[in-house]
Amino acid sequence: MPTSEDVQPAANAGSAAPAVRRRAPDAKARTQARILEAAAALFAARGYEGTSISAVAGRARVSRSAVFWHFGDKETLFRETFRRMLVPFAEEIARTLAHADPATRLVELITVYERVVEEQTAAIQAFVRWAIESPALRASIREPLFAFHDHFARDVRDALAQALGDPEAAEALAMGLLSMLHGNLLLAMIDAEPRRARLRRAGVRKVVERALGPAAGLAPRGVP
């Protein structure tokens, strides 16, 4: 059930609107960035239910009305926080497309995925846990998650199709590789033992090597 923290009263929203409208676009963007950064930290530390709009506003140094003005309600704030978490991932993936060699592009796509997961482990695992536990939160992040997944899958598939010359095989292999990457992410939540994590990463590269043949940069990392 929505609480007073989740739904802003119309009178407060109305009184805040004129001041926000007069702000320059860059000021608006900076305010939104502060709110999203504060929300990400609090959602990760306290969970969805334990995070209030008041707490987000306090951490971001804005009013509660400002949070509601920019994001409407807590569910939207949660979804946009998740979307923002994907931005660095998407930007790094876009940079891999500059490589003309499909084998190099493919291994860099995999490396980017693993690096971003490693850098944002706590936040990603928190979002995954909430999505598993709550149908409402799962529905909330479904659109940005699937949009990102489909984009990444297309990039992997296109690199494989160019390397193999067989679009049908490339699509099937792309889905297999994505399943391995996602599986490694979930396994890391319950098995963080470093050597097994390295073996799982090496396994993904071995599949790529078997599919494309030995190529520069595709050999699996050493596993002590």
Does residue 17 register a pLDDT over 60?
no
pLDDT of residue 178: 94
CB atoms within 10 A of CB 157: 20
Containing structural domain, residue 24: 10-72
Look up the CATH number of the domain holding residue 199.
Answer: 1.10.357
Does residue 87 register a pLDDT over 70?
yes
Answer yes or no: do 18 and 58 share one domain. yes
Answer yes or no: do 65 and 97 share one domain. no
Q: Both tokens of residue 160? A: 């494989």
Q: Which residue has the higher pLDDT, 90 or 20?
A: 90
Answer yes or no: do 193 and 89 share one domain. yes
In a domain, 221, yes or no: no
CA–CA gap between residue 122 and residue 185 (Å, rounded): 11
Task: Find the range with the poorest average confidence among 47-51, 184-188, 215-219.
Answer: 215-219
Answer yes or no: do 191 and 128 share one domain. yes
Answer yes or no: do 113 and 196 share one domain. yes
Answer yes or no: do 30 and 123 share one domain. no
In the chain, % of residues over pLDDT 90: 36
Instruction: Write the pLDDT tens digit of every residue in 128-174.
Output: 777 777 888 888 888 888 888 898 999 999 999 999 999 999 999 99
Report the range out of 66-80, 82-96, 208-222 with the highest average pLDDT.
66-80
Q: Is 73 helix (H, G, I), strand (E, B) or coil?
A: strand
Answer yes or no: do 50 and 152 share one domain. no
In a domain, 3, yes or no: no
Domain edge (last residue) among 56, 72, 88: 72
CA–CA gap between residue 76 and residue 74 (Å, rounded): 5
Answer yes or no: do 87 and 162 share one domain. yes
pLDDT of residue 36: 95
pLDDT of residue 25: 60
Phi/psi class of residue 52: alpha, beta or left (left: φ > 0; alpha: ψ in -120 to 50)?
A: beta
Instruction: Write the pLDDT tens digit of every residue in 120-129.
Output: 787 787 777 7
Q: Once rounded to an integer, what is the mean pLDDT over residues 1-27? A: 46
Answer yes or no: do 43 and 17 share one domain. yes
Q: Sorting pLDDT into bands at 50, 70 and 90, what band is 24?
A: low
> What total of structural domains would you count in the chain?
2
CA–CA gap between residue 133 and residue 47 (Å, rounded): 11
Answer yes or no: do 131 and 203 share one domain. yes
